[in-house]
Each structure stands twice: as structure tokens, then as C-alpha cells.
Chains A and B, each alone.
Chain A
């Protein structure tokens, strides 16, 4: 079974640009979460989508947005990039069901903003 797939794995942007990151969850998983990891702040929750609806949102500015498609694939977008947006962006999916459920993480997209 394929794991969570994130693309691109690495990218470099300049300040003021925007970026779109993609995440394909494990087949059958309908919940997708996004996290940002930086050396200073650690792993921080961005948002979670379930069945194309945002279910939870972290404390990030409106420049950070996301969406989920009917096939459960998800994208996140960061507009007007700042140097501090340089980070590893991680996507995770969760199996269906109401139980506690583990999150399966992808390898991440490493964004560098120059």
C-alpha cells in the first residue's frame, strides 16, 4: 500500500511569491492534516480537512490556506512568501472511522524562501 505522497519534495522561492504544495493520502483515508516544522517553533498544526471540509485550523495567518478535493487529495497554498515561511511542510492522513486512529505522515516538502 502506498504511503502519503507529497510533492514537490524540495523547492526554492523568493519573498513575495506564492507556493502550492500537494498531498496524496493513503488510499481510503479521507482526513488530511498539514503541519509546519521549523527549527525554532518545532512542529505546528496548520489545518485539517475531512471530506473536502476544513475541520480544524491552527494559529497561522490567512496567507496559509488549503483545500481538499473529492478524491481526498489536498493542497496547501502560501501567498506572499516571507523568509520565515522556510520550513518542512508535512502532510498526514488518517484511516476512516471514529476511533483514535494514528496519523500517517509523508516525507514532507522542504520550502526555502530567499
Chain B
């Protein structure tokens, strides 16, 4: 079973920041937080991952709380192409990714 809880859906206005929350209150010390997204009918796409520190790449920023029990994925300037299902996953090394139901993000013009 997935070890994360995410809202089923969210809307975001185009050009605004999209903040997607994830709860992972039972995360273990050796587990990383991963974010993937899946645009309709395509394979999931890796976005970002982190262990304890906040991370940023060209796609997004990942903010992990100090107690590591929750995190937020931030898409700084959402576009219509960011409409997708976003999955937050916790995973230890050499273990499979276990996907939950994710958050369906709709970016609205």
C-alpha cells in the first residue's frame, strides 16, 4: 500500500505557482520522497526527489518539513502542459516505487 496521502484533485491558474501537498507521516529514516507525474496516456515522468533537504531543479522545488512527515511540490509557474496526475512516493533504496492515487492537477487558462 502507498504510504502517502494526497488530495485527489487541485486546480491552479496558469502562470501561478502550483503547490501540491503530500503527507507521509510514517516515513522511515532511510526513505526518500519522490515525485512523478503522468500526463494522460503517457508513462510517468520523474520530477524530483529528496531525503531531508529542500531540493530544486529545472522543473520544480521540493520542500520537506523538518520532521519529514510531509512535503510540498512547487511548480513555480504552472502552464497548461503541467495538467497531469502527480504522485508523491516514499521509497527506500532498491525497493519498488509504490504508486498511490495521486493528485489530479488541472491548470486553468
Contact = CB atoms under 8 A, between A and B. Distances in A.
A48 interface: yes
Contacts of A100: 32, 34, 49, 51, 91, 93
A103 B95 contact: no
A33 interface: yes
A56 B98 CA distance: 12
Interface in B19-40: 32, 34, 36
Interface residues of A, number: 23
A81 interface: no
A58 B96 contact: yes
Count chain B CB atoms within 10 A of each CB in A4, A35, A98, A103 and give the residue with the most: A103
B90 to A, nearest CB: 11
A33 B101 contact: no
Interface in A78-114: 90, 92, 98-100, 102-108
B88 to A, nearest CB: 13
Given A98-B93, A100-B32, A100-B93, A42 B43 contact: no
A102 to B, nearest CB: 4
A11 interface: no
A96 B96 CA distance: 15
Question: Which of B45, B94, B98, B101 has the most CB atoms of chain A within a 10 A radius of its CB?
Answer: B94
B94 A43 contact: no
B98 to A, nearest CB: 7
A35 B97 CA distance: 10
A55 interface: yes
